[in-house]
A and B are shown apart, each in its own frame.
Chain A
Amino acid sequence: MRRQIMLFAAFTLVVAACSSAPTGPLPDAPTPTTLDELNTMITTGDQPTVVNVWASWCLPCRSEAPLLAQATRVSPDVEFIALNVRDTEQNAREFMAEFYSEADMTHLSDRPGRIPIEMGATAGVPITFFYAADGQLVKMHLGIIDEPTLARFLDEIDR
């Protein structure tokens, strides 16, 4: 029994060592935007676009963020927009430092969280919108996105 407790303690220490607390200066705060500005970005660019709606207090958002950061690296032809909603500036910056420090994304904010609703989604987060290069909405995914779904819809819009 004592040996098992020691083993558990050692395992706990090893896992605790895997902490990913952000270090260094925080990134700039996400830029406030409106629905019109966002739509212009989606429709005027010649790239397919992924818009991920997130908040730092949202556990599923924290959970899917590493996957989205990975997606930005493997899909350079796709424009990724991270839209922060109903959040404080400080918390948003800490979240960005923790998950998106090496991700090539455009960071926008909508403090009241009205834009996703005006885009046809619910008030909940996370939400991920996939747009083709011509600006047409291909898929609106509500809730956590998993790797196969993200990969499939990236393949669908990135043509």
Chain B
Amino acid sequence: MEFSLLGAAAIGVFGFWIMIRWEAKRGNAAGCAVDIWDTGLVAAIAGLFIGRIVSMIQTGVNPLTEPLQIMLVRSGVSTVAVVIGTLLVFSFLARNALVAAADGIAPAALMGLAGWYAGCLATGSCLGAESSLPWAVALPGSQITRHPVEIYAAIGMALASIALALWKQYGRPAPGSVAGLALLSASIIRLGTEPLRISLAGGPMLLYSAGVVAGAAMFVASIVSKRRTTKESTG
């Protein structure tokens, strides 16, 4: 039995928890009635199983005739379905205070993703395309040095998470802008690191591109909305 994937998930959840705890002391999601820890965790788990079921259907395995296979997450999950499923479930659970909850969870979600990527150290799957850079690493017994691409992604997500948390604390961002920037930065990091990964079919570049556009649109819309509100209240 192999538990390394569970270890990676635990590191991700730990990252999520650490950032929520850190932000809680600084008034994270003030006025938001939604418990972002519970909501985030439920949405992520639901999204994971939606992604697994979609992956089974894509590979021709019937989830009804082979229900136990849903538990074999290691066999593959559809990234697109995980992302869409998680966002939909989160939107449903936090529907009464969606913008505040999205801003509240954004830095913690990025830190959770950073932990998930850093979890490659547990699963032994950090390495990507061949590289001759000084920090490139070889697989045990191999001469070929490779980009530690998942560590790049983990560092990028962690830095984005900390920057957003600090901005929330000191910068008085417009409602929705933190969530928009989080989506934008996560998508850019995935897009930037994808060419360095090795995969059989290639990553879902369209999804990441859509994430860049959606994140940028959310950010701009939140800024415009805040300006309009400020103008109306002063005028």
Name A's B-contacting residues (CB within 8 A): 12, 15-16, 18-20, 59-60, 62-64, 66-67, 70-71, 74, 98-99, 138-139, 142-144, 146-152, 154-156, 159
6 extra interchain contacts, Cβ-Cβ under 8 A, other than A15-B64, A63-B75? Answer: A15-B57, A59-B69, A138-B141, A138-B142, A142-B2, A148-B199
Can you list, as one digit per residue, whether each of B194-211 has a CB less than 8 Å from chain A (1) or not (0)? 000111110000000000
Over the window 51-79 of chain B, the binary record of Cβ atoms lying under 8 Å from chain A Cβ atoms (1 yes, 0 no) is 00100010111111110110010111000
Chain B contacts of A71 at CB under 8 A?
Answer: 200
Do A15 and B199 touch across chains, with their CB atoms under 8 A apart?
no
Instruction: Please name all residues of chain B whose beta carbon is closer than 8 Å to the beta carbon of A70 when the two chains form the complex.
Output: 200-201
Pick the residue among A60, A63, A66, A147 that contacts B199 (CB under 8 A): A147
Give the most central of B75, B141, B144, B199: most A CB within 10 Å: B75
Q: Which residues of A contact B197 (CB under 8 A)?
A: 148
> B15-53: contact bitstring with A at CB < 8 Å (1 yes, 0 no)?
000000000000000000000000000000000000001
Question: Which of chain B's residues have a CB closer than 8 A to the CB of A144?
Answer: 2, 72, 74-75
User: Is A151 within 8 A of B200, CB to CB?
Assistant: yes
- A143-B2, A152-B125 known; A18-B200 Cβ under 8 A: no
Q: Which residues of A contact B69 (CB under 8 A)?
A: 59, 62-63
In the bound complex, do residue A147 and residue B200 qualify as a contact, i.e. CB atoms below 8 Å apart? yes
Please determine whether A16 and B2 come into contact, CB atoms closer than 8 angstroms: no
Q: Offer 12 A-B interface pairs, CB within 8 angstroms, sorted by A.
A: A18-B60, A19-B62, A59-B68, A59-B69, A63-B69, A63-B72, A146-B5, A146-B76, A146-B125, A152-B127, A152-B139, A155-B198
Chain B residues numbered 164-207 whose CB sits less than 8 Å from any CB in chain A: 197-201
Q: How far is the CB of B148 from chain A (nearest CB, A)?
A: 12
Give the residue of A18, A74, A149, A156 whose beta carbon is less than 8 angstroms from that of B201.
Answer: A74
A18: nearest chain-B partner, CB-CB:
B57
Q: Select which of A98, A143, A148, A159 is within 8 A of B198 by beta carbon.
A: A148
- State the 9 A-B residue pairs at the shortest beta-carbon distance, nearest first: A66-B59, A63-B75, A20-B60, A19-B62, A63-B72, A151-B198, A143-B2, A144-B74, A18-B57
Nearest CB of B to A116, in Å: 17
Across the interface, A147 reaches (CB within 8 A) one of B5, B63, B76, B139, namely B76
Name the CB-closest residue of B to A20: B60
A107 nearest CB across to chain B (Å): 19
**A60-B61 contact, Cβ under 8 Å, with A148-B125, A156-B144:** no
